[in-house]
A and B are shown apart, each in its own frame.
Chain A
Amino acid sequence: MTLVIKKIDQRTLRNLKAEAARRGLTLAEVFQEAAHLWLSRGQETSMLTETDRDNEFYESEEAELERQYKGRYVLIAGARLVGAFDDLEAAGKAIRFLSPRPVHVILTKMGQDERMVGEWLAGSLER
């Protein structure tokens, strides 16, 4: 069946195209999945859950990860350690092969990534 959608918000369409490209889906498949999710709304969103679970895992294992993998890129997805990699290319390649594809992945260089402070002079988020 063919469906024509008029006046769709440009940013929404751009994000849908990005998600489709990222996951190797057609736009039709993305719309179908979006419709399915909307119809089953009320359940907890998986994005927040994945982020929280990955971070809970990281924080509980941080000391051990730092001991074992200092200076390497550690990749956490699905609240488990996927692996440790010497460079970002290798970590990126490992992410491409994750199946099912996670929405959220933690990727950090153990012992080297630090909490940063920046400035945004006159910055504001009003629209």
Chain B
Amino acid sequence: MAGRVFGTVECYPHDSAANQPRLRIRLFNVAKEQWPEDLLVPIDTGFSGAVMLPSDSYDFFMIGELPKKLWKDYRTMTGPLQMRVARAFVETEQTSAETLVETPLVGAGKLLIGRAILESLAVLLDGPAKLSCVMKPHNETGGA
């Protein structure tokens, strides 16, 4: 919204090799068991889902999987792609919420976060500084 002033909550460096913007998240399976490490996850604004995982990491979340007939279909430039889908919880610097984690039915998958996560965050992509920053409206950061 025009005219709003934001303050920085936390910034994360872009991936040095691919220069991808990233955000830190913590993931939990439905049993509230935490994935053993915080993840700096590339942001993909072309992905409408929440969290895509490599297939081997997805195993940790299979204790909350949706039935096969409810797995998600994606339109991609190279044709349709089906994803397995599991319930999970995600925490960022600003939010804690139920989410869906996904991995391709075929293929190794990738680690990335999409628009379903970004919808709940204010994010500044600071290209020149190679930083992605989680922001808060200024009145929430204690400023004037």
Contacts and interface: CB of A to CB of B under 8 A. Distances in A.
A117 B77 contact: no
Interface residues of A, number: 43
Contacts of B142: none
Interface in A97-123: 101-108, 113-123
Contacts of A107: 30, 63-66, 87
Contacts, number: 147
Interface in B117-137: none
A96 B70 CA distance: 24
Interface string B40-52: 0000101111000
A19 B67 contact: no
B67 A58 contact: yes
A110 B66 CA distance: 11
A79 interface: no
B74 A123 contact: yes
A31 to B, nearest CB: 16
Q: Which of B37, B62, B63, B85 has the most CB of A within 10 A?
A: B63
Given A11-B56, A92-B30, A105 B64 contact: yes
Contact of A117 (B75, B108, B109): B75
Interface residues of B, number: 47
A125 B104 contact: yes
A115 B72 contact: yes
Contacts of B4: none
Contacts of B78: 123-124
A17 B30 contact: no
Nearest to A105: B63
A105 B46 contact: no
17 contacts: A11-B56, A19-B59, A19-B60, A47-B59, A51-B68, A59-B68, A91-B64, A105-B63, A106-B65, A107-B65, A118-B47, A118-B75, A119-B76, A120-B46, A121-B46, A121-B77, A123-B44
Top 9 closest pairs, chain A to chain B, by CB: A121-B46, A118-B48, A125-B107, A123-B76, A105-B63, A107-B64, A55-B68, A92-B30, A95-B31
